[in-house]
C-alpha cells in the first residue's frame, strides 16, 4: 500500500482529495488529508459580511462533509515535514509516512508584521475583513459608524484575492449611499501598487470606476507603521494618510510549518514550478493554491484550474512519466462594483485581462471587464458552484483549466 | 523598440525597461536614474542594482521585503536611495524587467 498525504483541507486540498479519490486505484493507495480545523469557510463570502449582505451561516460549513468517503481525515496540527525521511510529524507526535505529499496549507493574514497594526486599536478603529472574526467585527462597527475618513489599505503584495480590496471600496460606496450618508464618508484607497491594479488594461477600467464613485487613490504607498492614536498610516518615505476607520489587508504569509521545515521563502511560500506544480523542495512534494510562490493570483479559481492539472501530473509522476508544464496561470474573477453590478476578468501568466465575451466567443453571456448585472448574479451563483461543484471536483461546463483566447479583444 | 541611452542603442519595452540585460552598462543605469529624478547615483545604488541583477539571473521574484532582508540595504534605506516606487525604479536602472506583482 502506498500513501498520498495532503496537508490542508481548504479549497485546494479538498479539491485534490476529491479528484484523486476518483483517479487513484484504492487497492494501491491510501489518501490521508490533515487539517487542524473543523470549519470550512467560503472565503469569497467574507467580502459581504461587513455589509451584512451575507450572514455568518452563509459562509460556514464543516470540513468533514466535503472529504470524500475513503479519504482519511486527520484533525491535528502539523509540526514539521521531514523531507529526507518522507514523513510528516504531527503535533501529537504521530508520524505520517508518505510516497507523495501535496501541500495545500494556504495563506493567512499576519497583522503583527506592521508596527502598530495589532494593539489597542485593533478591531476598534483598525480592521481586516480577510478573517471571519475581522469581517464580523467590521460589520458591527459599520452598523452605527457616523462617518469620517475610511481608508481601504493593502499592506504588501502578494495577497489572497487581489481584487477584494477594490471590491470592498466599491461596496462601501454603495453601502453608504444606500444608508443616505455617503456625503459624510470620505473613502481613500491606499495601495503599494502604482495604480488600482497591476495589469494595465484593467487598471484603466478600475481606476475609472474609482473616480466615478468618488474614491480617492493613493498609489505607491508602502506602509512602515500605523499610529492608531493619531489615526494615521505612515509610509517609508514619511508620507501620512489620516483615517478614522482603517480597513487594512495585512501582510499575507504562508503557513509557519514551511518555516519550521526549512523550505519556505521569506513569506513562507513554497518554491514551486509555476507550470508543473512540483515543488523544488523534492520531487515527491507537490503544492497547490495559496501556499505556493508561483506568480499567479492567490484565488479559488486558480486553485481550481491547478487541481485538474496537478491531478494529471500526479498520475504521470506515479507512472514515472514526464510531468506536463500545463498550468498557465489562469485566473477568473468576478469583481463586485456595487449597486448590484460586477465585472469579470479572465487572464493568465502571459495575457492580461481584456474586454470581450465569456465563456463563448461573441456570445458571452458574460461580459469581460465591463460592468453588468449578470456578472453580479454570476458572482452570487458562485457560492453554490463552490460547495456543489468545485469542492467535489465536478467538471464545470465550458470552463477550461487553460485560458482561452477566443472571444477576447486583445488590442 | 530601440532607444538610445547614454549614447548606446538598446532594446526597451513600452515602459522603458531594458529587454536584454547583456546590453546594460553603468552609464545606462546613471542616465535612467537621472531621468527618474535620482541626481547622484552612488556606489550604494550600484550595490542594490548588482543584487537585483543577481536575483533576476537566478529567476527569483523580487519583492521590497526580499530586498529589505538581503543584507544589502534595509527597506528604509531602499526608499531613501530610490524614492517613490523603489523596486520599479531600481529594476529599471538595473536593466531587468519591471517587477510583476502577483495578481
Prediction ipTM score: 0.75
**Per-residue pLDDT at B58:** 84
* A261 shares a domain with A230: no
Q: Domain for residue B81, yes or no?
A: yes
Domain span at residue A363?
331-390
Q: Domain for residue B101, yes or no?
A: no
Domain span at residue B44?
2-94
Compute the average pLDDT of residues A16-44.
97
Pick from A24, A27, A21, A99: nearest CA to A66:
A21
Strand A87-90 with A95-97, pairing? antiparallel
Report how many domains make up chain A: 3
The region of weakest confidence among A26-35, A149-158, A401-410, B60-69 is B60-69
* A58 shares a domain with A48: yes
pLDDT confidence bin for A31, thresholds 50/70/90: very high
Q: Domain for residue A140, yes or no?
A: yes
Residue-wise pLDDT tens digits, A247-304: 999 999 999 999 999 999 889 999 999 999 999 999 999 999 999 999 899 999 999 9
**Per-residue pLDDT at A148:** 98
Residue-wise pLDDT tens digits, B29-38: 999 999 999 9
* A221 shares a domain with A246: yes
Contacts with A222 from chain B: Cβ below 8 Å: 64, 75, 79
- Examine the pLDDT at A204 and tell me if it is beyond 80: yes
Does A318 lie at the interface with B, CB-CB under 8 angstroms? Answer: no
Q: Domain for residue B102, yes or no?
A: no
- Taking CB atoms and an 8 Å limit, are A236 and B79 in contact across chains? yes
**Per-residue pLDDT at B101:** 57
Q: What is the rounded distance in angstroms from the CA atom of residue A285 to the CA atom of residue A5?
A: 10
* A309 shares a domain with A197: no
- Examine the pLDDT at B102 and tell me if it is beyond 90: no
The region of weakest confidence among A195-209, A234-248, A289-303 is A195-209
- Taking CB atoms and an 8 Å limit, are A297 and B102 in contact across chains? yes
**Per-residue pLDDT at B68:** 87
Q: Domain for residue A324, yes or no?
A: no
Q: Domain for residue A35, yes or no?
A: yes
* A145 shares a domain with A184: yes
Contacts with A114 from chain B: Cβ below 8 Å: none
Give the three cell numbers for residue A52.
451584512
Q: What is the rounded distance in angstroms from the CA atom of residue A43 to the CA atom of residue A129?
A: 10
What φ, ψ does residue A335 adopt, rounded to 5°?
-120, 110
Q: What is the rounded distance in angstroms from the CA atom of residue A89 to the CA atom of residue A63?
A: 21
Q: Domain for residue A125, yes or no?
A: yes
Residue-wise pLDDT tens digits, B9-50: 999 998 899 999 999 999 999 999 999 999 999 999 999 999
Q: Domain for residue A80, yes or no?
A: yes
Q: Domain for residue B99, yes or no?
A: no
Mean pLDDT of chain A: 95
* A312 shares a domain with A247: no
Q: What is the rounded distance in angstroms from the CA atom of residue A223 to the CA atom of residue A155?
A: 6
Q: What is the rounded distance in angstroms from the CA atom of residue A353 to the CA atom of residue A161?
A: 15
The residue written with cell numbers 501598487 in the block is A193
**Per-residue pLDDT at A409:** 85
SS3 B22: helix
* A38 shares a domain with A117: no
What is the chain B residue with the closest CA to A266?
A: B66
- Taking CB atoms and an 8 Å limit, are A158 and B102 in contact across chains? yes
Q: Domain for residue B100, yes or no?
A: no
Q: Domain for residue A323, yes or no?
A: no
Report how many domains make up chain B: 1
Q: Domain for residue A374, yes or no?
A: yes
- Examine the pLDDT at B103 and tell me if it is beyond 50: no
- Examine the pLDDT at A367 and tell me if it is beyond 90: no
Residues of B annotated as catalytic (active site), given as ranges: 102
Q: What is each CA distance from A396 to A255, A311, A400, A402, in whole angstroms?
A: 30, 16, 8, 13
* A239 shares a domain with A345: no
B103 → closest Cβ in A197, A236, A266:
A197
* A239 shares a domain with A259: no
- Taking CB atoms and an 8 Å limit, are B83 and A295 in contact across chains? no
**Per-residue pLDDT at A354:** 85
Q: Domain for residue B53, yes or no?
A: yes
Percent of chain A with pLDDT over 70: 100
Compute the average pLDDT of residues A152-159.
94
Q: Domain for residue A91, yes or no?
A: yes
Contacts with A156 from chain B: Cβ below 8 Å: 63-65
Compute the average pLDDT of residues A302-317.
97
Does A280 lie at the interface with B, CB-CB under 8 angstroms? Answer: no
What is the chain B residue with the closest CA to A163?
A: B103
* A230 shares a domain with A151: yes
B85 → closest Cβ in A194, A198, A293:
A194
Strand A100-103 with A2-7, pairing? parallel
* A220 shares a domain with A196: yes
- Taking CB atoms and an 8 Å limit, are A198 and B101 in contact across chains? yes
* Other beta carbons within 10 Å of B56: 18
**Per-residue pLDDT at A195:** 85
Q: What is the rounded distance in angstroms from the CA atom of residue B79 to the CA atom of residue A234?
A: 13
* A260 shares a domain with A246: no
**Per-residue pLDDT at A311:** 98
| CATH of residue A295 | 3.50.50.60
- Taking CB atoms and an 8 Å limit, are A197 and B100 in contact across chains? no
Q: Domain for residue B25, yes or no?
A: yes
**Per-residue pLDDT at A392:** 95
Does A157 lie at the interface with B, CB-CB under 8 angstroms? Answer: yes
- Examine the pLDDT at A78 and tell me if it is beyond 50: yes
Q: What is each CA distance from A249 to A107, A224, A313, in whole angstroms?
A: 13, 14, 34
Amino acid at each position: 500500500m502506498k500513501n498520498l498525504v495532503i496537508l490542508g483541507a481548504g479549497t485546494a486540498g479538498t479539491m485534490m482529495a476529491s479528484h484523486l479519490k476518483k483517479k487513484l486505484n484504492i487497492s494501491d493507495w491510501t489518501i490521508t488529508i490533515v487539517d487542524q480545523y473543523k470549519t470550512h469557510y467560503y472565503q469569497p463570502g467574507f467580502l459581504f459580511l461587513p455589509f451584512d449582505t451575507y450572514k455568518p451561516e452563509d459562509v460556514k460549513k464543516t470540513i468533514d462533509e466535503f472529504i470524500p468517503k475513503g479519504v482519511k481525515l486527520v484533525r491535528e496540527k502539523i509540526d514539521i515535514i521531514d523531507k529526507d525521511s518522507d514523513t510528516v510529524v504531527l503535533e501529537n507526535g504521530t508520524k505520517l509516512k508518505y510516497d507523495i505529499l501535496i501541500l495545500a496549507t494556504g495563506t493567512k493574514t499576519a497583522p503583527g508584521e506592521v508596527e502598530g497594526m495589532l494593539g489597542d486599536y485593533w478591531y476598534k478603529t483598525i480592521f481586516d475583513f480577510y478573517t471571519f472574526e475581522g469581517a464580523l467585527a467590521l460589520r458591527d462597527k459599520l452598523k452605527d459608524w457616523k462617518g469620517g475618513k475610511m481608508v481601504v489599505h493593502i499592506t504588501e503584495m502578494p495577497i489572497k484575492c487581489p481584487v477584494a480590496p477594490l471590491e470592498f471600496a466599491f461596496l462601501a460606496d454603495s453601502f453608504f449611499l444606500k444608508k443616505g450618508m455617503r456625503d459624510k464618508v470620505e473613502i481613500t484607497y491606499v495601495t503599494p501598487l502604482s495604480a488600482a491594479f497591476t495589469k494595465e488594461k484593467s487598471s484603466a477600467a478600475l481606476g475609472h470606476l474609482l473616480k466615478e464613485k468618488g474614491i480617492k487613490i493613493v498609489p505607491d504607498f508602502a506602509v512602515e507603521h500605523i499610529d492608531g492614536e493619531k489615526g494615521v498610516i505612515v509610509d517609508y518615505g514619511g508620507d501620512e494618510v489620516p483615517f478614522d476607520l482603517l480597513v487594512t489587508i495585512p501582510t499575507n504569509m504562508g503557513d509557519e510549518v514551511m518555516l519550521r521545515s526549512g523550505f519556505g521563502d521569506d513569506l513562507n511560500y513554497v518554491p514551486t514550478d509555476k507550470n508543473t506544480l512540483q515543488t523544488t523542495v523534492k520531487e515527491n512534494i507537490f503544492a497547490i493554491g495559496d501556499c505556493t510562490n508561483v506568480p499567479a493570483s492567490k484565488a479559488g479559481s486558480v486553485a481550481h484550474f491547478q487541481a485538474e492539472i496537478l491531478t494529471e501530473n500526479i498520475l504521470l509522476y506515479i507512472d514515472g512519466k514526464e510531468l506536463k508544464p500545463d498550468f498557465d496561470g489562469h485566473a477568473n474573477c468576478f469583481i463586485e462594483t456595487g449597486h448590484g453590478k460586477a465585472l469579470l476578468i479572465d487572464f493568465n501568466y502571459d495575457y492580461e485581462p481584456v474586454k470581450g465575451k465569456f465563456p463563448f466567443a461573441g456570445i458571452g453571456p458574460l461580459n469581460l471587464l465591463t460592468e453588468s448585472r449578470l456578472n453580479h448574479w454570476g458572482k452570487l451563483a458562485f457560492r453554490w458552484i463552490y460547495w456543489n461543484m468545485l469542492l467535489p471536483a465536478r467538471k464545470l461546463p465550458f470552463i477550461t483549466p487553460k485560458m482561452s483566447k477566443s472571444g477576447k479583444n486583445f488590442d | 523598440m530601440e532607444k538610445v541611452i547614454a549614447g548606446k542603442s538598446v532594446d526597451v519595452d513600452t515602459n522603458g525597461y531594458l529587454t536584454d540585460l547583456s546590453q546594460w552598462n553603468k552609464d545606462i543605469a546613471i542616465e535612467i536614474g537621472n531621468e527618474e529624478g535620482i541626481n547622484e547615483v552612488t556606489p550604494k545604488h550600484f550595490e542594490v542594482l548588482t543584487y537585483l541583477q543577481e536575483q533576476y539571473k537566478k529567476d527569483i521574484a523580487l519583492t521590497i521585503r526580499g530586498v529589505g532582508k538581503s543584507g544589502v540595504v534595509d527597506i528604509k534605506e531602499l526608499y531613501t536611495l530610490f524614492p517613490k516606487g523603489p523596486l520599479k525604479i531600481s529594476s529599471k536602472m538595473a536593466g531587468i524587467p519591471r517587477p510583476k506583482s502577483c495578481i
